[in-house]
Amino acid sequence: MKAAVLHAPGQIRVVDAPDPMIQEPSDALVRVLLCCLCGSDLHPYRSRSTAPVGKWMGHEFVGVIEETGADVARLRRGDVVIAPFGWSDGTCDRCRDGLPSSCRRGGFWGASGAPGAQAEAVRVPLADGTLVKAPVTEHSALLPSLLTLCDVFGTGHHAAVKGGVGPDAVVTVVGDGAVGLLAVLSCRLLGASRIILMGRHRPRTALGVEFGATDVVVERGQEGIERVMDLTRGAGSRVVIEAVGSLPAYEQALGIVRPGGVISRVGLPQYDEAPVGLRMFVPNITLTGGTAQVRAYIEHLLPSVLDGVVDPGRVFDRTLALDDAAAAYRAMDTRASLKVLLKP
Amino acid sequence: MKAAVLHAPGQIRVVDAPDPMIQEPSDALVRVLLCCLCGSDLHPYRSRSTAPVGKWMGHEFVGVIEETGADVARLRRGDVVIAPFGWSDGTCDRCRDGLPSSCRRGGFWGASGAPGAQAEAVRVPLADGTLVKAPVTEHSALLPSLLTLCDVFGTGHHAAVKGGVGPDAVVTVVGDGAVGLLAVLSCRLLGASRIILMGRHRPRTALGVEFGATDVVVERGQEGIERVMDLTRGAGSRVVIEAVGSLPAYEQALGIVRPGGVISRVGLPQYDEAPVGLRMFVPNITLTGGTAQVRAYIEHLLPSVLDGVVDPGRVFDRTLALDDAAAAYRAMDTRASLKVLLKP
């Protein structure tokens, strides 16, 4: 089968890879209908020093069950399924605790030695715990929106949940990438009354406004901080969602959060250490968030997609064939595209 | 009047200071009955490079109202009062938000250019918002326990509250100083079912057990982490209270907190940056806590002291005259004493 691989930093190739096969009785084989690129795929792509050459790429896919192992009880051939970005058994103490991304038997596609999801097919371990059946056909127009449940919509939702967003919340979202925009949408679904979006890419912030942002701040750094302070009458934002993962974005969040407030992070941190001393301690700032528990949110968010209440698939602004994965990476790397859909 | 001042790093002198006077109509003058030393007083005392020479020391005191300004309505001469470690108006948006330590008109004794509380008398700004009347006489045996409401008991309580401690919680407290021990007591009051205390000073951990610790871990570093893992059957602690403020204590907390758990800090951080990257992000660890909102807790905790349900004053293991402040600092600096009471 075809699969995208990181040949060298900045070089993606679609290669002939071994067809996946059932290895364990809890496995399922999924033929990929749609997959896509994530902001986090760009980290190894851009890395000039530490990119693991030969790394399989991608961790988001919807597909059709082709075959199931002997122990798989909840799924059968022909089911259209949504796969979270990692597998989990659904039964360990951590899964029961709402932490499937920390599952004791879990792992992640394109990591943990597993192939990636930018491919024609994927072997899914612990299929009963991992996959969620979607009540649609493989020709459904909803597939792109269902695909966002694999990672980016669930990650935006996670940011809002961990930030404690509820009715009438005032939230600032730092970052106008797909995660930031879907954090905006999630905040709206949770009843936030004011959603300030910080971003400088006009078409993206325009989509953010359609998703529910009430204010857009294009300024960055100290100017951006002052702008948010003005918008909140000097109080700052009680909840700040940091949807980038860079140190400047973290600093931005720290600058605009109000005393007693929360910074909820969902951008994969590109730093090891950051300021958490007196600047955070004295005003009682809480730092929370982390790897999203996307598996735990799929059933919760699915009805809003099926009912057409939301259309998170709008974050995809380009569709390419899997064969054109290299062009897809270039488009996202140069910000020519917000998020690229790949069709095997 | 007499007051303790930092003459030079490691040198405390009790000097003749100007008698405080009413300056604003919202002021009160308080004659100090009891004051004490805090772990945070040792930071400038120990500093070999940056100690502000001439700094007034101390921020914990109970006393008697001697005089009130024209606008003070809730207090009168002769009232025994408890003073939180800083003043606050009780009316600004932050005070109303439960954040008196971030009061827009607030400040802290021994900082903000204000004299300290290791003195015979203190001018209290914003007296109506700041002071809490205690229904006792100035000869009450409860005064030491009431004095803990100024800072150390409220700070322990803050750690537990911010950590989300409730009935049946499993908590680990890092640090057997007075704050750590009173965090143990606070966790017990909030219904925690298991309280693991990490500390290696036998008389302190023994008091911790009397306060409610169910387990004591004397090991530190990797050994201490493994011990807590064993005690929690490999799961780690859902809530970790970090009551020291050092980077090794932070690392200890990070090592024993379970995925999805909370580190609640109340020790004044002696670091600016700390590890908050993937190590914290991937397992969804929340970092919270900060300067305690002691003013907000005094009325809440006061009944338990007045009723004798708790005896937090047991953290004082030595009483000296204010004149002997230098000896008091030496005793705490060398760990000969846990916490020293000073009588003006």
Answer yes or no: is pLDDT of B96 > 60. Answer: yes
The torsion angles phi and psi of B248, rounded to 5 degrees, stand at: -60, -35
Amino acid at A146: L
pLDDT tens, position by position, A204-219: 999 999 999 999 999 9
Query: Least CB-CB distance to B291: which of A102, A162, A281?
Result: A281
Contacts of B277 in chain A (CB under 8 A): 269, 271-274
Strand partners of residue B319: B341
Token pair 């930018």 is at which residue?
A118
Indicate the residue of A97, A259, A269 with minimum beta-carbon distance to B278: A269
B259's CB contacts (< 8 A; 6+ apart) are: A94, A97, A99, A102, B236, B283, B284, B285
What does the pLDDT read at residue A113?
73
Question: A141 in contact with B at a CB cutoff of 8 Å?
Answer: no
Q: Give the confidence band of B113 by pLDDT, cuts at 50, 70, 90.
A: confident
Per the document, the length of chain A is: 344
Render the burial of A300-315: b for 16+ CB within 10 Å, e for the rest: ebbebbeeeebbbbbb
- CA-CA distance, B13 to B159, in Å (whole number)? 33
**Residue of B281, B291, B294 to mutate, interface with A, max A Cβ within 10 Å:** B281
Report the distance separating Cα B264 and Cα B240, nearest Å: 6
A113 to chain B, any CB pair closer than 8 A? The answer is no
Query: For the complex shown, is ipTM > 0.90?
Result: yes
Contact B83, B131 (CB under 8 A): yes
Does A228 lie in the same domain as A325? no
Determine the pLDDT at residue B50. 61
Dihedral sign for Cα atoms in the order B281, B282, B288, B290? negative
Burial readout A62-93 (b: 16 or more C-beta within 10 A, e: otherwise): bbbbebbbeebeebeeebbbbbbbbbbbbebe
Contact (CB, 8 A) for A208 and A183: no
Distance from C-alpha of B59 to C-alpha of A64, rounded to nearest angstrom = 67
How far, in Å, CA of A236 to CA of A229, rounded? 5
Question: For the ranges A110-119, B6-15, B271-280, B310-319, which has the lowest average pLDDT?
Answer: A110-119
B291 to chain A, closest Cα gap in Å? 5
Are residues A135 and A146 both part of a single domain?
yes
Average pLDDT (B76-96) is 97
| pLDDT for B49 | 57
| pLDDT given for residue A48 in this prediction | 60
Looking at residue B55, its pLDDT comes to 87
Asked if residue A329 and residue A210 are part of one domain, the reply reads no
> Is A40's Cβ below 8 Å from some Cβ in B?
no
Nearest CA in chain B to A98: B260
Q: Does A218 touch chain B (CB under 8 A)?
A: no
User: What does the alpha-carbon distance between residue B221 and residue B259 come to, in Å, rounded to a whole number?
Assistant: 19
What's the average model confidence in pLDDT over A171-198? 98
Residue with tokens 């802290």: B108
My answer on whether A177 and A285 are in the same domain is: yes
Q: What is the pLDDT of residues A292-306, one digit of tens each?
A: 999 999 999 999 999
Average pLDDT in chain B: 96
CATH of the domain at A314: 3.90.180.10
Mean pLDDT value of segment A318-340: 97
* Closest-CA residue of chain A to B285: A288
Query: What residue has token string 């002291």?
Result: B305
Is there a contact between B83 and B63 (Cβ–Cβ < 8 Å)? yes
**Does B98 touch chain A if contact means CB atoms closer than 8 Å?**
yes
Coil vs helix vs strand at B309: coil
Q: Does B276 touch chain A (CB under 8 A)?
A: yes
At A99, give phi and psi (nearest 5°). Answer: -125, 55
Identify the pLDDT of residue A54. Answer: 81
Q: Are residues B204 and B241 in the same domain?
A: yes
Q: Each residue of A224-238: pLDDT tens digit?
A: 999 999 999 999 999
Element (H, E) at B212: none
Task: Dump pLDDT digits (tens) for B297-343.
Answer: 999 999 999 999 999 999 999 999 999 999 999 999 999 999 999 99
Asked if B272 has any chain A CB less than 8 Å from its own CB, the reply is: yes
- Distance, in angstroms, between B183 CA and closest chain A CA? 17
Residues of chain B contacting residue A99, judged by C-beta atoms under 8 Å apart: 259-260, 284
What pLDDT score does A8 carry?
Answer: 87
Q: Which residues on B lie below 8 Å from A260 (Cβ)?
A: 94, 97-99, 102
> Least CA distance to B279: which residue of chain A?
A272
CA distance A69 to A67: 7
Q: Are residues B33 and B127 in the same domain?
A: yes
pLDDT over threshold 90, residue B110 = no
A6 pLDDT above the threshold of 70 = yes
Is the same domain home to B23 and B64? yes
User: Quick one: which of B160, B155, B200 has its CA closest to B179?
Assistant: B155
pLDDT tens per residue across span A43-56:
889 886 565 678 89
Residue B148 CB contacts under 8 Å (≥ 6 apart), including other chains? B154, B178, B182, B305, B312, B313, B315
Query: Same domain for A109 and A235?
Result: no
Q: Which residues of B195-230 are buried (b: 16+ CB within 10 A; e: fewer)?
A: bbbbbeeeebbebbeebbbbebbeebeeebbebbbe
Token pair of B62, please? 């109970």
Last residue of a domain, one of B250, B273, B289: B289
Query: B172 and chain A: CB distance < 8 Å anywhere?
Result: no
Residue B235, min C-alpha distance to chain A (Å): 9
The pLDDT assigned to A111 comes to 82
Among B253, B272, B289, give the residue marking a domain's end: B289
Q: Using alpha carbons only, what angle is made at residue B265 by residues B263 and B266, rounded to the nearest 5 degrees?
A: 155
Residue contact A287–B288, C-beta within 8 A = yes
* Residue A38 vs residues A57, A126, A338: alpha-carbon distances, Å: 10, 23, 10
Task: Please give the pLDDT value at position A55.
Answer: 86
Interface touch B275/A272, C-beta < 8 Å: yes
Q: For residue B226, give Cα distances in angstroms to B180, B196, B325.
A: 21, 13, 41
Do A290 and B277 lie within an 8 Å CB cutoff?
no
State the average pLDDT over residues B177-199: 98
Question: What is the residue range of A181's domain?
Answer: 153-289
CATH number of the domain to which A261 belongs: 3.40.50.720
Residue of B nearest to A291 (CA): B282
B14 and B110 housed in the same domain: yes
Check pLDDT > 60 for residue B294.
yes
Rounded to the nearest angstrom, the minimum Cα separation between B264 and chain A is 9
Q: Is the pLDDT of residue A308 over 80?
A: yes
CB B296 within 8 A of CB B106: no
A285 touches chain B (CB under 8 A): yes
Average pLDDT value for residue range B84-100? 96
Count of domains observed in chain A:
2
For residue A330, CA distances in Å to A9, A151, A203, A334 come to 12, 21, 19, 6
Mutation target to probe the A interface, by most A beta carbons within 10 A, among B95, B276, B279 is: B276
Please give the full DSSP string across B214-254, using - where no structure is assigned: SEEE---HHHHHHHHHHHTTTS-EEEEEE-S-SHHHHHHHH
Check CB contact under 8 Å for A293 and B278: no
Sign, CA torsion A81/A83/A89/A95: negative
B12/B142 same-domain check: yes
Domain end among B245, B264, B289: B289
Distance in angstroms (rounded) separating the CA atoms of residues A206 and B312? 57
Whether B18 contacts chain A with CB within 8 A: no
| Bridge partners, A31 (sequence order) | A64, A121
What would you report as the CA-atom Rg of chain A, rounded to the nearest whole angstrom?
20
Q: What is the pLDDT of residues B151-180, one digit of tens each?
A: 999 999 999 999 999 999 999 999 999 999
pLDDT, tens only, A88-128? 999 999 999 999 999 999 999 988 678 899 999 999 999 99
Strands (E), chain B: 2-8, 11-16, 28-36, 55-56, 61-68, 80-83, 86-87, 107-108, 121-124, 132-133, 170-174, 194-198, 215-217, 237-242, 257-265, 273-275, 286-289, 318-321, 340-343
Residues paired with residue B174 on neighbouring β-strands, in sequence order: B198, B242
Terminal-residue alpha carbon distance, chain B: 10
| Closest CA relative to residue A56, chosen from A34, A41, A38 | A41
Q: Are residues B304 and B233 in the same domain?
A: no
B114-152: pLDDT as tens digits:
889 999 999 999 999 999 999 999 999 999 999 999 999
**In this structure, what are the phi and psi dihedrals at residue A76, rounded to the nearest 5 degrees?**
-145, 165
CB of B47 within 8 Å of a chain A CB? The answer is: no
pLDDT score, position A114:
82
Same domain, B171 and B255: yes
